[in-house]
Amino acid sequence: MEGKTCPFKIILGSSSIARRNILSEMGYEFTLMSADIDEKGIRKEKPEELVMALAEAKADSIVSKLQSINNQEKDEIPTILIAADTVVVYEGVVREKPANEKEAREFIRGYSGGHCATVGSVIVTNLKTGIRKGEWDRVEIYFHEIPDEIIEKLIEEGAVLHVAGALVIEHPLIMPYVKQVVGTTDSVMGLPKALTEKLIKEVL
């Protein structure tokens, strides 16, 4: 954005620090709002359908919050709402945030010497026109053997307890054990840059 004034405002509908960092890296200024949804109440057979449904629900929740706060029509420039969701898929099973340390440990042990995938969605809504576009993105991640002491350190530190599938490939402790990422790291972290840019353009 090279310091140009942006012709639209952005709301990032997420409390994720990683998503916030990625959107900042893309050069955008934005405000934050989080959605109040019952993620466990939304169930779909396929991971791609699940992440799309969850991001839709987040977007809808924020749109209804905003409608009770103000009326978008008064704004000269459009406001773009970005909502996203990511799940980890391991051996065909969707993994969300681990319930506890024991589950986080089991998750990470499973990745050791194996592989998993992330499926992430992005839904972008132009709040002025109501136009909404969304897509999903899949990334495959292959691991070397992860030593038990590394797994214990990760759990002790706690970041893995708050992310889907206890998966943090950008973490300095785990990076040496990531063999290959087929796709983009920003997608694994929750917001694929290229897809987000494309969807922003489509709704403007």
How far from the centroid of its chain's Cα atoms is residue 85's Cα?
4
Report, as an integer, the average pLDDT of 164-190: 94
Which one, of 82, 102, 100, 107, lies nearest residue 168 by Cα?
107
What positions carry a catalytic annotation? 85
Which one, of 71, 80, 74, 73, lies nearest residue 33 by Cα?
80
Q: Does residue 112 contact residue 105 with C-beta atoms inside 8 Å?
A: no
Structural domain contains residue 136: yes
Structural domain contains residue 1: no
Report, as an integer, the average pLDDT of 180-204: 96
Domain limits at 157? Answer: 9-203
- The pTM for the full model equals 0.89
Residue 167 confidence (pLDDT) above 90: yes
Give 44-90 pLDDT, tens digit per residue.
989 999 999 999 999 999 999 888 766 555 667 899 999 999 999 99
Residue 92: Cβ-neighbour burial (10 angstroms; 0-12, 13-18, 19+): exposed
CATH code of the domain covering residue 30: 3.90.950.10
Structural domain contains residue 23: yes
So what's the pLDDT on residue 3? 45
DSSP 4: P
